[in-house]
């Protein structure tokens, strides 16, 4: 073991190796996770040229290509995994998503159009329909003879699905539902498969029978006949050119009192008898609603995984390029610097690399939870709600992270980053809408926050008034302590200002856990206290108070998401047996945790959680950690396990290295030859020196 002793340049402890040997094969396996084999199969498909996006196609050509690719996926037996074995599926829910998220490397439009067909349209029939529906509809959906739309979102309602305007009114005389768009804002919009390919659709509408609105339910409807003509009463318009994903044919559908038979209600969670009586196995309308839109959870998990995969591609490109590209020669007159050696470049790329690895583990945990619930292994109400909260927390941070990483990688490659063949820009354009899809990120974070607040409230549900008062008092005391910085003062006494001791503190797993947890807990408690004070006031006043703290609430939810990601990372790395690999993962985990804390350092200072002395050492310590990770960056991105057929970026092809080598060789030969021109600057300096020595001499 090579140990270092200097206090200022390293903070390795007795357990650490200064230059650990990362085993990329081990790391690749760790990152591939539980569904490694499925991922390998899917990656092999994604590496085939027929599935690759071609830049610059018109949207018509792109749509045709992607539809053809979907048929190819069917032929390759790649779309069946989540469906029941009796229909040729594999009942593998986690594996199914793992497979689909890998398709993003071929073309995000392919991932999304597949997701619409099998993950939304098909999954709605599977999860909301009964066996009869499965027998009638699943075969055509699975073999793509019936492309279909998932008609949930309306022009007027995206986030607030419960308020959809489309109605499905039961007519007992004919035993049919009348599906109707009562006003323009209730027009279904942004529906993949609607503009061109969709034959059928699952339509979400307010189920009304016998004068009562039973809330949003799902209906199976025909859109077009076998010749592709739109059926009477249905008006479809094309959403046209989009910012990205132009291989998906999004469109709008308006229903003019079309009629579907009673059997077309997907009635697993809410049924209507021939004479119009409504019944449901789920008594609470609220819980029933969340079950109806539960299909979206699958979409959220899939978008999260695809975002992680796209972030990996971005970093493979940017890190490889930064290890070959040279610019400016600050430290040597002969050779320019590799740009990965610049501290700023390390600051730009390596924390994003750490977060990408962190999210990779978070996605693995999310997939496992998803599989537990959807396979039925553990689909208790509590576990389902936990899954919903986990997905609602991770999807926002992962999708935003992908956009941020793609953009930074694009900029880090300069002009080359802007060329479409390097894919940063087009992946950014395609993934842009992932932050809105299947639940707007901010709306999802608000869901998370509400869950945190209600969990917090339920802690005191059964407490007597005395317990509550004591708690409030202790909270207040703690606030007073924080307010007057006594806790901080206490910490200051223990602090010697020794940078090494401070670094040793920051890298402790338990310290990180406490800092990240404490922030969530305190933020939730603070807002809960505010909300409690108006709990018995009129609705409008409660809403106003909530709104006055909305920004805090969303920040608390983000902090919670960060904590969940950190926990996934920490759990995963503790299971890695290879010491060098575990060491590198620990550094990455530390970078993830400490950059999160650095971003919100003002909060930790204001709340007395970190003393000023310690806080001052944080950024320098992060810089040293990054410098330590820098030589490992290429190995880390290589261990993502994507081949040149997945990456397909000129910046990652080695072409830059060839050009640098050629230029270097040219300069070497030139310097060796007698014809090499002298630099004027050197002449000028020489002349100045001569003049100066003349003056001195004279």
Residues 614-633 that bind a second copy (CB under 8 A): 615-616, 619, 623
Count the residues in the chain.
698
Alpha-carbon Rg for the chain, nearest whole angstrom, is: 29
Q: What is the C-alpha to C-alpha distance for residues 459 and 638, in angstroms, rounded to an integer? A: 46
Q: Which residue among 148, 165, 247, 251 contacts a second copy (CB under 8 A)?
A: 165
Question: Which phi and psi angles does 238 have, rounded to 5°?
Answer: -85, 135
Piece of the chain touching a second copy by CB under 8 A; list 299-307, 365-373, 570-578, 609-617 = 609-617
Q: Report CA-CA distances (Å) from 522 to 284, 603, 614.
A: 32, 11, 21
Q: Which of 261, 260, 269 is nearest to 129 (CA)?
A: 269
The verdict on 450 binding a second copy (CB under 8 A) reads no
Q: How far is the CB of 146 from a second copy (least distance, A)?
A: 25
Nearer to a second copy, 59 or 93 (CB): 59
As to burial, measured by CB atoms within 10 angstroms (0-12 exposed, 13-18 middle, 19+ buried), residue 458 is: exposed
Rule CB under 8 A: which of 555-574 touch a second copy?
Answer: none
As to burial, measured by CB atoms within 10 angstroms (0-12 exposed, 13-18 middle, 19+ buried), residue 465 is: exposed
What binding mask, one character per residue, do residues 417-436 give for a second copy by CB under 8 A, x or -? xxxxx--xxx-xx--xx-xx
The verdict on 173 binding a second copy (CB under 8 A) reads no
The verdict on 75 binding a second copy (CB under 8 A) reads no
As to burial, measured by CB atoms within 10 angstroms (0-12 exposed, 13-18 middle, 19+ buried), residue 343 is: exposed
Q: Which residue among 174, 343, 380, 533 contacts a second copy (CB under 8 A)?
A: 343
The verdict on 500 binding a second copy (CB under 8 A) reads no
Q: Which residue among 37, 48, 131, 160 contacts a second copy (CB under 8 A)?
A: 160
User: Where do the DSSP E strands lie in 115-211?
Assistant: 148-151, 167-171, 176-180, 188-191, 200-209
The verdict on 486 binding a second copy (CB under 8 A) reads no
SS3 3: coil
The H or E element that residue 494 is part of is: helix 486-494
The verdict on 494 binding a second copy (CB under 8 A) reads no
Rule CB under 8 A: which of 665-684 touch a second copy?
Answer: 666, 675, 677-681, 683-684
The verdict on 277 binding a second copy (CB under 8 A) reads no
Nearer to a second copy, 86 or 662 (CB): 662
Rule CB under 8 A: which of 14-33 touch a second copy?
Answer: none
The verdict on 383 binding a second copy (CB under 8 A) reads no
The verdict on 257 binding a second copy (CB under 8 A) reads no
At what angle are helices 550-574 and 539-548 packed, to 10 degrees? 60
List, in order, residues 6 or more apart from 359 with CB less than 8 Å away: 304, 307, 308, 311, 394, 397, 398, 401, 565
Q: How many residues bind a second copy (CB under 8 A)?
A: 112
The verdict on 184 binding a second copy (CB under 8 A) reads yes
List, in order, residues 6 or more apart from 490 with CB less than 8 Å away: none
At what angle are helices 486-494 and 612-629 packed, to 10 degrees? 60
Q: How far is the CB of 378 from a second copy (least distance, A)?
A: 29
Piece of the chain touching a second copy by CB under 8 A; list 34-42, 171-179, 332-340, 456-464 = 332-340
Q: Which residue among 3, 174, 183, 476 contacts a second copy (CB under 8 A)?
A: 183
The verdict on 493 binding a second copy (CB under 8 A) reads no
Q: Which residue among 173, 211, 334, 466 contacts a second copy (CB under 8 A)?
A: 211
Nearer to a second copy, 26 or 429 (CB): 429
What binding mask, one character per residue, do residues 217-246 give for a second copy by CB under 8 A, x or -? ----------------------xxxxxx-x
The verdict on 147 binding a second copy (CB under 8 A) reads no
Q: Report CA-CA distances (Å) from 582 to 23, 26, 541, 575, 625.
A: 10, 10, 52, 8, 15
Piece of the chain touching a second copy by CB under 8 A; list 133-141, 257-265, 282-290, 631-639 = 282-290
CA dihedral 461, 464, 470, 474 (to 10 degrees): -10
The verdict on 273 binding a second copy (CB under 8 A) reads no
């Amino acid at each position: 073991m090579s140990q270092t002793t200097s206090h200022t340049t390293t903070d390795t402890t007795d357990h650490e190796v200064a230059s650990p040997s990362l085993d990329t094969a081990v790391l690749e396996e760790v990152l591939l996770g539980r569904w490694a084999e499925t991922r390998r199969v899917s990656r092999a498909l994604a590496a085939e040229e027929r599935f690759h996006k071609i830049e610059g196609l018109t949207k018509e050509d792109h749509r045709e290509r992607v539809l053809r690719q979907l048929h190819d996926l069917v032929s390759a037996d790649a779309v069946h995994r989540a469906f029941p074995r009796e229909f040729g599926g594999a009942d593998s829910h986690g594996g199914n998503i793992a497979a689909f998220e890998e398709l993003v490397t071929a073309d995000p439009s392919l991932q999304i159009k597949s997701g619409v067909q099998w993950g939304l349209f098909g999954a709605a029939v599977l999860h909301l329909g009964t066996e009869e529906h499965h027998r009638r509809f699943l075969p055509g959906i699975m073999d793509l003879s019936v492309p279909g739309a998932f008609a949930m979102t309306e022009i007027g309602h995206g986030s607030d699905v419960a308020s959809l305007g489309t109605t499905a009114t039961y007519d007992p005389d004919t035993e049919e539902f009348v599906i109707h768009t009562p006003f323009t804002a209730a027009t279904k919009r942004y529906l993949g498969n609607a503009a061109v390919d969709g034959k059928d659709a699952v339509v979400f509408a307010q189920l009304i029978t016998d004068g009562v609105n039973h809330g949003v339910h799902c209906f199976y409807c025909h859109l077009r006949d076998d010749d592709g003509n739109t059926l009477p009463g249905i008006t479809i318009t094309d959403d046209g050119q989009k910012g990205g994903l132009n291989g998906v044919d999004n469109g709008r559908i308006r229903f003019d009192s079309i009629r579907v038979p009673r059997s077309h209600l997907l009635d697993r969670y809410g049924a209507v008898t021939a004479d119009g009586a409504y019944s449901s196995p789920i008594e609470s309308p609220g819980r029933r609603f969340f079950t109806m839109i539960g299909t979206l959870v699958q979409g959220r998990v899939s978008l999260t995984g695809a975002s992680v995969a796209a972030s990996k591609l971005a970093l493979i490109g940017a890190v490889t390029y930064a290890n070959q590209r040279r610019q400016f020669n600050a430290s040597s007159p002969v050779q320019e610097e590799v740009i990965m050696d610049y501290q700023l470049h390390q600051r730009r790329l390596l924390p994003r690399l750490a977060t990408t690895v962190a999210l990779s583990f978070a996605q693995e945990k999310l997939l496992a939870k998803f599989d537990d619930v959807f396979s039925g292994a553990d689909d208790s109400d509590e576990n389902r709600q936990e899954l919903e909260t986990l997905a609602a927390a991770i999807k926002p941070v992962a999708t935003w992270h992908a956009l941020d990483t793609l953009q930074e990688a694009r900029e880090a490659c300069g002009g080359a980053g802007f060329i479409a063949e390097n894919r940063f820009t087009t992946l950014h354009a395609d993934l842009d809408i992932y932050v809105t899809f299947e639940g707007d990120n901010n709306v999802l974070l608000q869901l998370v926050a509400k869950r945190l607040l209600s969990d917090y409230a339920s802690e005191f549900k059964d407490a007597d008034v005395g317990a509550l008062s004591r708690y409030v008092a202790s909270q207040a005391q703690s606030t007073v302590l924080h307010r007057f910085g006594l806790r901080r003062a206490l910490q200051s006494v223990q602090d010697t200002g020794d940078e090494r001791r401070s670094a040793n503190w920051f890298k402790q797993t338990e310290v990180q856990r406490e800092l990240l947890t404490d922030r969530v807990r305190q933020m939730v408690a603070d807002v809960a206290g505010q909300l409690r004070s108006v709990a018995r006031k009129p609705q409008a006043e409660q809403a106003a108070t909530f709104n006055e703290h909305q920004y805090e609430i969303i920040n608390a939810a983000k902090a919670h998401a960060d904590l969940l990601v950190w926990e996934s990372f920490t759990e995963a790395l503790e299971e890695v047996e290879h010491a060098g690999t575990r060491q590198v993962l620990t550094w990455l985990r530390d970078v993830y945790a400490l950059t999160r804390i650095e971003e919100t350092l003002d909060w930790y200072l204001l709340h007395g959680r970190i003393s000023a002395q310690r806080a001052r050492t944080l950024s320098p310590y992060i810089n040293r950690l990054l410098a330590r990770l820098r030589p490992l960056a290429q190995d880390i991105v290589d261990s993502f396990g994507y081949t040149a057929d997945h990456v397909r970026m000129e910046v990652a092809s080695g072409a830059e290295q060839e050009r640098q080598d050629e230029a270097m060789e040219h300069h070497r030969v030139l310097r060796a030859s007698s014809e090499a021109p002298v630099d004027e600057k050197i002449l000028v300096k020489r002349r100045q020196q001569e003049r100066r020595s003349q003056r001195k001499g004279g």
